[in-house]
Chains A and B, each alone.
Chain A
């Protein structure tokens, strides 16, 4: 007689049990069902650990010692919420999972509608992921953002997710519905109190119509002690250009997981990003790109600069379904390791079920090229400065491919700041 071995619940899981019971008790009947469903789906899996293939390199069960209490409804002083961009934006402020109109832009923009929402998201595509389910079980609020068909939004739309407090957690659900023919730059940033330990778990659903042109820049500049998870569910219509960029700089542990599906033909998705890591930071970018229809292109180009004992994880799976002929998918991961104890785990994968496709993947890892370094030094540039120039150059190549001028400038400035590279001449 064998009793099934029951995995003992971790302290974090026990805390989550209590948090779920408490939030469920305050939830209306209609939403309670959604919470329960999500909770059951989460409980079936538990906090992901290294024996879960998709989470192999990010053993959250070990790294998440506790689940911090759900953050209460507070609004940080407006000045704390400076935003990472310094640009004139249309701001949507979400603090501790809840939309805060007082900190958000209030002037009307033609073609853009922002509505406070309860954070429950209808479709989660193929995102059968424990942490996405947990988001929906505990979600505190969110917004629905709608961009009308054929609207061109000149000003960047900035979604700031701020976690206010120490040893708290925030769960936001954001839905972005982009009409056909729309054009916009969306900048989402994740921030929190400096040096505060907290957990943020965001679920972001993006639906883009046909013939749209969307640039989406994510700035992950959480506190250096934060644990950050964002799950994207992205659906793209036909003949659309969708450019996505992840800038990872904050958090002791971060994971961006992006589930993307091509729903219409002739669409191009550029998925790019840079992770700048030091100390014992751990940043994970995991992609599932599903070419479900023919004649779509995807580019997955990521670069990491890893110092000290930090670790960058990249996993990318491109799936080409049987009908998705003429698919063009190219994935490339390049990493620069600045110390002997820095680590990169790169796992690009292709699953191809169609026969007429062009797909490739690769990864390179290395130290700063000594030949390049010597060339710069032979021209009088001191070694420390020369190294910074080469790191900046390595990252600039990826940034420029995002092809959105405001974002390129912003990112280069952020990288310079990270590198303490004021002595490096600007363009």
Chain B
């Protein structure tokens, strides 16, 4: 279970998160919606453990572990996965090599045996098929020359290989056409399970037609200003974020 209490965080001295309270239980899918600049991506980076994202007040615990004590790699090994809004291109690192290295690094951190190459190949083949990740993509350097849709599919492939228990999807719908959105969403839905928590960060409601959340939160100016069921997303789609943005500005 993820518990965020009164979380304040800043980047380069800029206060971005100003007191977030959020509890996500296993099996739940929470959507976090909000206007640009509300702190959505910052929240995802703070959860993943990016340097320069400093927690100044409050706490994050995951399964009872103080999250702030762990580095990004340790959080990943403890079950965290961030699907990046803009997956990074890494020339010179073959995608397959990267996937195997990441999987084995996590296994090693958890005290498990490394996966054998044949088992790994089989696993990748299985998982990549559903996500329409072609063998050619896997041979290329990581994300290099991938289209927007390919990058997002590759992110979800990583997620399904690494089998995290806490998934944070940062604007996974951005840059996707309708077909790609469907493939990616199906991939995500297949990973829904009673022992996996998900936080789906999005600006638009359309992603939530495909990945139907249990709870929707509205983030504005670094705070959760409203929480509701999936119907809240529809309301936002209709009325926009104006109600929440202007509230404090007025």
Cα distance A382–B49 when bound, in Å? Answer: 13
Among A370, A424, A427, point to the contact of B51 (Cβ < 8 A): A370
Cβ of B76: which chain A residues have Cβ within 8 Å of it? Answer: 377-380
B105 touches A382 (CB 8 A): yes
Cβ of B100: which chain A residues have Cβ within 8 Å of it? Answer: 425
Cα distance A392–B102 when bound, in Å? Answer: 16
Q: Does A385 contact B (CB under 8 A)?
A: yes
A381 touches B101 (CB 8 A): yes
Cβ of A378: which chain B residues have Cβ within 8 Å of it? Answer: 48-50, 72-73, 75-76, 80-82, 84
Q: Does B193 contact A (CB under 8 A)?
A: no
Cα distance A318–B82 when bound, in Å? Answer: 47
Q: Does A18 contact B (CB under 8 A)?
A: no
A392 touches B77 (CB 8 A): no
- Contact code string B54-95 (vs A, CB < 8 Å = 1, else 0): 000000000000000001110111001110100110111110
Q: Does B106 contact A (CB under 8 A)?
A: yes
Q: Does A371 contact B (CB under 8 A)?
A: yes
A393 touches B90 (CB 8 A): yes
From known contacts A374-B50, A378-B48, A385-B105, infer whether A393 and B73 are also in contact, taking CB-CB under 8 Å: no
Q: Does A372 contact B (CB under 8 A)?
A: yes
A372 touches B105 (CB 8 A): no
Q: Does A363 contact B (CB under 8 A)?
A: no
Cβ of A393: which chain B residues have Cβ within 8 Å of it? Answer: 90-93, 141
Cα distance A321–B91 when bound, in Å? Answer: 36
From known contacts A374-B51, A374-B72, A425-B97, infer whether A381 and B92 are also in contact, taking CB-CB under 8 Å: no
Cα distance A378–B85 when bound, in Å? Answer: 13
From known contacts A377-B76, A378-B48, infer whether A425 and B90 are also in contact, taking CB-CB under 8 Å: no
Q: Does B156 contact A (CB under 8 A)?
A: no
From known contacts A380-B77, A427-B97, infer whether A375 and B90 are also in contact, taking CB-CB under 8 Å: yes
Q: Does A144 contact B (CB under 8 A)?
A: no
- Contact code string B101-126 (vs A, CB < 8 Å = 1, else 0): 11111100100000000000000000
Cα distance A385–B108 when bound, in Å? Answer: 13
B158 touches A379 (CB 8 A): yes
Cα distance A374–B94 when bound, in Å? Answer: 17
Q: Which residue of A lies closest to B86 (CB)?
A: A371
Cα distance A200–B172 when bound, in Å? Answer: 58
Cβ of A380: which chain B residues have Cβ within 8 Å of it? Answer: 73, 76-77, 102-103, 105-106, 109, 162
Cα distance A378–B94 when bound, in Å? Answer: 17
Contacting residues of chain A (396-419) with chain B, CB-CB under 8 angstroms: 396-397
Cβ of B92: which chain A residues have Cβ within 8 Å of it? Answer: 392-397
Cβ of B84: which chain A residues have Cβ within 8 Å of it? Answer: 375, 378
Cα distance A375–B154 when bound, in Å? Answer: 13
Extra contacts, 4 of them, besides A389-B93, A393-B91 (Cβ < 8 A), are A370-B51, A378-B82, A380-B103, A390-B90
Binding site for B on A (CB under 8 A): 370-372, 374-383, 385-386, 389-390, 392-397, 424-427
